[in-house]
Structure 1
Amino acid sequence: MVGANKEMAVYCFDTLVAHYTGDVVPDPGFEEGQFPLFVTWKKVLNGGEPRLRGCIGTLEARCLITGFKDYALTSALQDRRFPPIQAREIPYLECTVSLLTDYESATSYLDWEIGKHGMILEFTDPESVRRSATYLPEIAAQEGWTKIETVDSLVRKAGYMGPLTESMRCKFRITRYQSSLCTMHYSEYATYVKHIRGSAPLLTVKC
């Protein structure tokens, strides 16, 4: 079974670097396949906690090569929560690639495990608007949330800002899933590229 690996993170960095340098993206070093996937970019400054700079993916299976190439740029440049990542930020970036697996229907909004499961939440709000949102498996643990706090935050992420009641939560449709992931900082990427290709990446921005 294919799992997330450093070659996928390298390919995402290659894609983002090439976007600014105008170079051709090197061929990926991982095998083809079909998976739902996400690309997450975080920025690390002065040894502090990584700060999210973009996270976008797909819950439907995609070709891994085109999927990572597309979402490396989409998450870096088109996440509406953040301004686009600039070339000067790249040396401070951390990239996490995620492959999603083991989709299951939960029996209730509490039928999942923190740190193990991601969730797709679907519901119809009191105004009859259908809403949905997802959190990857690592989010609840990273934030230190309880199950209810996680679900309620996911409801807000879906765009519903009205009151939340237990009866409403009991009507939520939850699909839980697991993931394999790999995280790489730019410094690791640069070292890897120098070792494999003979020279470190050059961040010379195209005109």
Structure 2
Amino acid sequence: MAASCCGVKRQKLNNSMPAVCCNGSSVHSNYHKNGYTVAVADMCFFCFDVLHSHLYSYEQPKSPIFTNESFPLFVTWKIGRDRRLRGCIGTFSATSLHGGLREYAVTSAVKDSRFSPILKEEFHKLHCSVSILTHFEEAGDCMDWEVGIHGIRIEFVNEKGHKKTATYLPEVAVEQGWDRIQTIDSLLHKGGFKGPITHEVRKSIRLTRYRSEKITVSYHDYQAEKLSKQRA
């Protein structure tokens, strides 16, 4: 599965080259089932189980009971009270939820090139988010999307003539306090564009907008769920 990172690592717009992770694969049209909410807390609990087993070299958990339909997805780990980003990787290719979450729970925790791998000592401080991507639409131009509503994926040609891609999930622009132009410029830098960003550069971007079903749980939520199951 081709992987893509989803957010920023304390990025500032005047940085000459913000942190870059690997970029995404082809975008599919629309995987959302009308009237059906896909993301559930059990997905995050499963990611906690998978990461715990990986960190302690335990046997991997059995397949979960939530749906195993195929969707593009991302797994995000944050840490501490300030919820500092600790890793976020996913895929734009539709992948079965059981296998995809099993893979990206670990990949986002230990293979995000912007961060050192998550350690055992950090596990009890973590927050896990699962984002299920839906409603993919080709935008009319790079401004044809709404902050806080859409995630965006851009395709562009860099100053050396190489095709590049990069993405931000819907919450990134809101968390950073960016408008659409600031978000686009940041995303160009994230994707590896090093030249001056002009109106012509922005106009040449091919942008796909999408929405996300996101669920987040903390380690304490995870522990409470485990205790509840033991008592049942």
1:198 positional shift: 4.0
Alignment of 1:53 onto 2:80: no
Q: Which residue of 1 aligns with 2:27?
A: none
Alignment of 1:28 onto 2:70: no
Contact kept in structure 1, 2:153 and 2:168, CA below 8 Å: yes
Amino acid at match of 1:41: W
Identity %: 42
Contact kept in structure 2, 1:14 and 1:26, CA below 8 Å: no
Distance 1:24 1:40 in 2: 20
Amino acid at match of 1:25: P
Distance 1:100 1:7 in 2: 17
Alignment of 1:183 onto 2:216: yes
- Which deviates more from structure 2 when the two are superposed, residues 158-167 or residues 74-83? 158-167
Task: Say which of 26, 32, 48 aligns to 1:13.
Answer: 48
Superposed structure 1 runs of 4+ greater than 6 Å apart = none
Gap regions ≥5 residues in structure 1: 200-207
Contact kept in structure 1, 2:159 and 2:193, CA below 8 Å: no
1:161 positional shift: 1.5
Q: Which residue of 1 aligns with 2:96?
A: 63
Q: Which residue of 2 aligns with 1:3?
A: 38
Task: Say which of 135, 148, 151 aligns to 1:102.
Answer: 135
Gap regions ≥5 residues in structure 2: 1-35
Q: Residue by residue, what CA displacement relative to the aligned partner does 1:131-171 show, whole Å, maximum 9, x if unpaired?
A: 11000011101111010000000001101121100011011
Contact kept in structure 1, 2:47 and 2:101, CA below 8 Å: yes
Q: Which residue of 2 aligns with 1:151?
A: 184
CA RMSD of aligned residues (A): 1.2
Q: Which residue of 2 aligns with 1:128?
A: 161
Amino acid at match of 2:70: Q
Task: Say which of 141, 149, 155 aligns to 2:174.
Answer: 141
1:127 positional shift: 1.7
